[in-house]
Structure 1
Amino acid sequence: MKREITGIHHVTAIASDPQRNIDFYAGLLGLRMVKKTVNFDDPSAYHLYYGDEKGSPGSIVTFFYWPGHEARGRRGSGQTTALVFSAPAGSLDYWTERLQRNGVAVERKSRFGEEVLSLADPDDIPVEIVEVGDDARSGWTAPGIPEEHALRGLHTAELTVGFASPTEGLLSIEMGFRLVKREGNRARFEAGPGGSGHYADVIEDSKVARGTGGSGTIHHIAWSVPDDETELAKQSELEKSGYHVSPVMDRDYFHSIYYRERGGILFEIATETPGFAVDEAPEALGTGLKLPKQFTELRPRIEAILPQLQAAKTFA
């Protein structure tokens, strides 16, 4: 049987302040900090991972940090443009009240027959919470958040492009996604078993300006494959279709390849293995600073540069 991309692995965005980011995603939204490390290309900056109890593929959001006004980006065409989470049916009233009580503006809307709560994080990155009745994944229960309302993981990847046809063609042909439905200028595709965590929404908007990278934007979207063999097969297929694909890169917790789709969005394909417990016990994920192998000898210097981080703020 041909093995394919199974859904979302993770989404990586860029923030301006790591402590404020921790307070929002781990404190207010209740995600687990599953890994505290540094940027592979810049060890002076944190790279933080949030997810469910195990950091399961499809639950993970990660953040690089680019401080300062000059590092501010612009959301637009050629980017993943929202972090979209799944929550159990009947949870939006709870999340509306919790967010508004803590000063976060929200808006309710409907899309593809689903109820959606829209908000923004401290860097103005769009965040959505979608009520899903059939998401069997378990959420991480943070202080003050009942298990029955905990976020289950990512719901869909939102891909905004000026012209949808090339992106849709890549998803449906080389990447093996299936078209589910269309609504206005948005087309929903699904991979693997389908359902929450396996969706990609392609949004065609020829009027929106081209996005630029920086804080307040999403850097890339990673798709999940079960193993190295599948990743190498996808690498070969993409290269044969004319995409410039990176060599396989060891990211300690998964292996990755990178390429840009025709609309400009940076795509990654990441393996499900080895996972986040390779250098920390499962019960201790995210508690220690873990460094990529090439930086281990620089630990004293890196620790002296990095700002001190506190545990996530507890919200009422």
Structure 2
Amino acid sequence: MTTIAPQGLHHVTAIASAPQKNVDFYTRILGLRLIKRTVNFDAPDSWHLYYGDEKGTPSSILTFFPWPDVPRGRQGAGMTSATAFSVPGTSISWWHDRLKALHVDVDAPVTRDAEEVLTLRDPDGMVLDLVAADGDLRSGWDGVASIPSEHAVRGLHSVTMSERLLDPTADMLTDLLGMGSTTEQAGRSRFSMGGGDAGALVDLTGGARERGYQAGGTVHHVAFRAPDLETMTLWQRQLVEAGVDVTEILDRQYFKSIYFREPGGVLFEIATDTPGFDIDEPLLELGRSLKLPPWLEPNREQIARSLPAITLPDLSADPS
């Protein structure tokens, strides 16, 4: 039996277009904290923006590569088709009213698998779900962007992946990644990590006919939690032994990570919980300035000139 057993989602990384629109939406509209302004380490002429709760706790984090000229992507097989956040159980109607008032593209609430779900789309068309989760005791980042603490986003809830065939991906999730299969209804299968709480869930839908196109408004990869580097090193070895094409361990400054693809094509990452986002700036100043890893510091001036300007919004102001 495998010892690979992620305890939940670590983060989701997606592709956006205009960085300022991205910052405004996720901080002013959804009330997430911009916890890190850095660059794509593999392409340092572009931003990598991190959002989350106050500390950037694993399972609260959504990150973006904003590429201003990127075309709009297309959903389909081999794609993460929705990223869900957890909100308090009584908050769905409040969020629906707020988003409608702010002219966000939002659907009417629905009940899915006994959960109340509100589906919306960000400025690039990325699909987001807000899921009512009474049992989620995480605090999120309370009292910002005109959002009362009792309605604040708590963190990631789940991701939904769209596949042509369910079984190969389901087998990897259960047999190799140690997830449990919990529910299956209406063409949707749910898999859980750890205790199966919000932030530790993966949903699969099958039957997608056309391959998706990864570009603006789509998810780039989904990351799962490893507690530390020692555990990740063990998991990497086991993935290799199972015949998975997995990368070497990469230094992402705020965590170490490995990457591989599931059979349907979605890019997976396993990321360590440590060292965290306060290693290069104080907690109170997270996200206020450009941070670079040591190996890019010699090129700071050139990198800074290449990046589109970003203005941090005044979160005390009403976004309307």
User: TM-score, normalization: structure 2?
Assistant: 0.95
Partner of 1:256: 257
Listed as ranges, the matches of 1:292-311 within 5 Å are 292-311=293-312
After TM superposition, give the deviation of residue 269 of structure 1 in Å: 0.2
On the 8 A contact 1:38/1:292 being kept in 2, the answer is no
Aligned residue among 187, 196, 201 for 1:185? 187
What do the CA deviations read for 1:59-100 (whole angstroms, capped 9, x no partner)?
Answer: 00000022225x332221101111210000110111011100
Partner of 1:159: 161
Could you say what secondary structure the match of 2:176 adopts? coil
After TM superposition, give the deviation of residue 2 of structure 1 in Å: 5.1
Matched, 1:270 2:271: yes
> Which amino acid counterpart does residue 100 of structure 2 have in structure 1?
Q
Partner of 1:114: 115
Unaligned runs of 5+ in 1: none
What do the CA deviations read for 1:133-188 (whole angstroms, capped 9, x no partner)?
Answer: 00011111213000000000010011111101011111111101001101111100
After TM superposition, give the deviation of residue 3 of structure 1 in Å: 6.5
On the 8 A contact 1:66/1:214 being kept in 2, the answer is no
Partner of 1:214: 215
On the 8 A contact 2:168/2:264 being kept in 1, the answer is yes
Listed as ranges, the matches of 1:81-160 within 5 Å are 81-107=81-107, 108-141=109-142, 142-160=144-162
Could you say what secondary structure the match of 1:277 adopts? coil
On the 8 A contact 1:255/1:270 being kept in 2, the answer is yes
Listed as ranges, the matches of 1:69-80 within 5 Å are 71-80=71-80
After TM superposition, give the deviation of residue 293 of structure 1 in Å: 2.1
> Which amino acid counterpart does residue 242 of structure 1 have in structure 2?
G
Aligned residues: 314
Partner of 1:55: 56
Aligned counterparts of 1:62 and 1:164: Cα–Cα separation in 2? 27
What do the CA deviations read for 1:39-59 (whole angstroms, capped 9, x no partner)?
Answer: 111111100000001101100
Partner of 2:285: 284
Matched, 1:227 2:228: yes
Aligned counterparts of 1:14 and 1:105: Cα–Cα separation in 2? 18
Unaligned runs of 5+ in 2: none
After the TM superposition, which parts of structure 1 deviate over 6 Å for at least 4 consecutive aligned residues? none
Aligned counterparts of 2:129 and 2:88: Cα–Cα separation in 1? 13
After TM superposition, give the deviation of residue 244 of structure 1 in Å: 0.1
Partner of 1:46: 47
* Identity over aligned pairs, percent: 45
Aligned counterparts of 1:157 and 1:230: Cα–Cα separation in 2? 24
Could you say what secondary structure the match of 2:99 adopts? helix
Could you say what secondary structure the match of 1:231 adopts? helix
Could you say what secondary structure the match of 2:94 adopts? helix
Moved more, 240-249 or 299-308: 299-308
Could you say what secondary structure the match of 1:299 adopts? helix
On the 8 A contact 2:4/2:178 being kept in 1, the answer is no
Aligned counterparts of 1:87 and 1:35: Cα–Cα separation in 2? 23
Partner of 1:12: 13
Could you say what secondary structure the match of 1:26 adopts? helix
Aligned counterparts of 2:44 and 2:69: Cα–Cα separation in 1? 17
Aligned counterparts of 1:300 and 1:117: Cα–Cα separation in 2? 43
On the 8 A contact 1:85/1:128 being kept in 2, the answer is yes
Moved more, 1-10 or 48-57: 1-10
On the 8 A contact 1:226/1:271 being kept in 2, the answer is yes
After TM superposition, give the deviation of residue 196 of structure 1 in Å: 0.3
User: TM-score, normalization: structure 1?
Assistant: 0.96
On the 8 A contact 1:51/1:61 being kept in 2, the answer is yes
> Which amino acid counterpart does residue 199 of structure 2 have in structure 1?
G
